[in-house]
Amino acid sequence: MSESRRDILQCIGNTSLTALRNIVPANGSRILLKLENENPTGSMKDRMAFAMIEAAEADGRLAPGGSVVEYTGGSTGVSLSLICAVKGYPLHIVTSDAFAREKLDHMSILGARLHIVPSDGGRMTEKLTRGMIEAARIIAEETGSFWTDQMKNRDQLAAYHGMAEEIWAQTGGRIDGFVQSVGTAASLRGIAEALRRRDERIDIVAVEPSESPVLSGGPPGAHKIDGIGAGYVVPLWQDGIANRIERVSTEEAIAMAFRLAREEGLFAGASTGANVIAALRLAEQMGPDATIVTIMCDTGMKYLRSYGTRLEETSR
């Protein structure tokens, strides 16, 4: 009989690692997915949100009776909404109509107050990102809230160091490559740092939208992969953090998300689709004995409306 948990926050982390069985590289490399949809809100962001709040409580930046503010495409906001609900902190979320309606609804249900910044036709752009950041700064100043400021907050790195240790233990130290898409860059950086401490030979691959390939030196642009591709080089990014950067388009990412659902029974968001495409490309460059780990960032339940619209369009 499993032990009881003090509260829902104790259910964050220690997620499963599973192998792809049908969407596999021809050369026989093994691709493993870290199932972050098993976290309480269905997203890996539960880890970093919990770490940011706990660190701020520990050093006094967030005092009892205080409030919290953040700008977010949704998953970080849902995670913060859960944690603030459990801990009793009022939460202001700056977000946009560019992001999945399910995420915005989830935040509201958990008690967050939403401030919506209009987008350009539902697309993610640099202008939108910067507008959301400025709105969060103003709210923090006016309300005296603790601003988690995920694009700059280094407290979250510890959460991803822990995630890397889980991956290392689950693979028995047998890992040749790690692939992750870049939003704030915290997950890629934190996991890469910890894995390289274990084995500096591990090949680290960053993933960004091909429509906005700023990390690999291209121009900013608009895309529709939730949670990644801010449109500029984010503060937590470091040159050398990845051995290479793969560009994946919105269409490729969404198509792979549908394949994962239909061929593997794994219902995920487009960022996971992008991860798997990049992992398959890396596998083509490695031998048949290679093991590559990537992340199922969240559950596809967060995107039911947009996926439904796409299904209707393709069936016409």
Structural domains in the chain? 8-38+160-310 (3.40.50.1100), 45-147 (3.40.50.1100)
Task: Single out the residue of 68, 154, 119 nearest to residue 231, CA to CA.
Answer: 119
Asked if residue 132 lies in contact with residue 117, where contact means CB atoms within 8 angstroms, the answer is: yes
d(CA 67, CA 177): 40
C-alpha 82/C-alpha 88 separation (Å) is: 10
Instruction: Name, in order, each residue with C-beta under 8 angstroms of 60's C-beta and a sequence gap of 6 or more.
Output: none
pLDDT in tens, the chain (316 residues): 456 778 999 999 999 999 999 999 999 899 999 999 999 999 999 999 999 999 999 999 999 999 999 998 778 999 999 999 999 999 999 999 988 888 899 999 999 999 999 998 888 888 998 999 999 999 999 999 999 999 999 999 999 999 999 999 999 999 999 999 999 999 999 999 999 999 999 999 999 999 999 999 999 999 989 889 989 999 999 999 999 999 999 999 999 999 999 999 999 999 999 999 999 999 999 989 999 999 999 999 988 887 877 766 666 6
Task: Based on the residue annotation, tell me whether 271 is a catalytic residue of this protein.
Answer: yes
Distance of CA 93 to the CA centre of its chain: 17
Q: What gap in Å lies between CA 97 and CA 92, rounded to an integer?
A: 16
Q: How many CB atoms lie within 10 A of CB 23?
A: 17
Catalytic (active site) residue 103: no
pLDDT (tens digit, 9 = 90+) per residue, 9-36? 999 999 999 999 999 999 989 999 999 9
Which one of the listed residues 29, 43, 45, 302 is annotated catalytic? 45
CA 188 to mean position of chain CA atoms: 9
CB within 8 A of 190, min separation 6: which ones? 156, 157, 158, 159, 160, 161, 163, 164
Q: Which of 72, 93, 74 has its CA nearest to residue 84?
A: 93
